[in-house]
Amino acid sequence: VALHTEGDRIVVKNCRLIGNQDTLYTGGDGNRLLFTNSYIEGTTDFIFGSATAWFEECVIHCKKNSYITAASTPKDVAYGYIFNQCEITLNDEVSSVYLGRPWRPYAATIFMNCIFPKGIQAKGWDNWRNADNEKTARYAEFNNKGEGSNTCNRVDWVKILSKNKAENITLTNVMKKRETQTPFCQ
């Protein structure tokens, strides 16, 4: 693990997180994290955990055929991982990458306004060998570009967001604490 977070309202800016399996562990149910203009590299489930994390203008680099995310979002938390305006890149020999698989049943991950290379799996998402996860995992995509962004062959349990739904997924809305509506930054 290159970085393991356990605090609330953590900002990671202009950083390089380099590892293999389990590069970034976003710990702490209900914790809120913001990653901007950073580079995260790994192999299997290399972004994983239960915190809510917003990734803005980051490069997510896959070093082998595997899975990018393994969220374990708690059932009562609205958002898990949101990747906005990020670019997924792959090593030259990589040709089969899934966007994510659920570490726990209610995993939540959204990719929006991102650039996907050719090697993104047509199915996009994996159920981690458990069909029950297809009923509970909360995966979505919106307005992604690039050769791997075509959603025609995505698994039928991923949501393709409308523009109206996507417009409500903002940093401010995602980072509010439900109980207190405490903003991420004051």
| 45 given a catalytic annotation | yes
Residues 6+ apart with CB under 8 A from 3: 12, 17, 23, 24, 25
**Residue 29 falls in the annotated catalytic set:** no
Q: What is the pTM of this model?
A: 0.96
- Of 8, 22, 29, 126, the catalytic one is 22
Q: Which residue out of 45, 92, 126, 156 is catalytically annotated?
A: 45
pLDDT tens digits for the chain (186 residues)?
999 999 999 999 999 999 999 999 999 998 999 999 999 999 999 999 999 999 999 999 999 999 999 999 999 999 999 999 999 999 999 999 999 999 999 999 999 999 999 999 999 999 999 999 999 999 999 999 999 999 999 999 999 999 999 999 999 999 987 665 556 664
Complete domains list, the chain, with CATH: 3-175 (2.160.20.10)
**How many of the other CB atoms lie within 10 Å of CB of 148?**
20
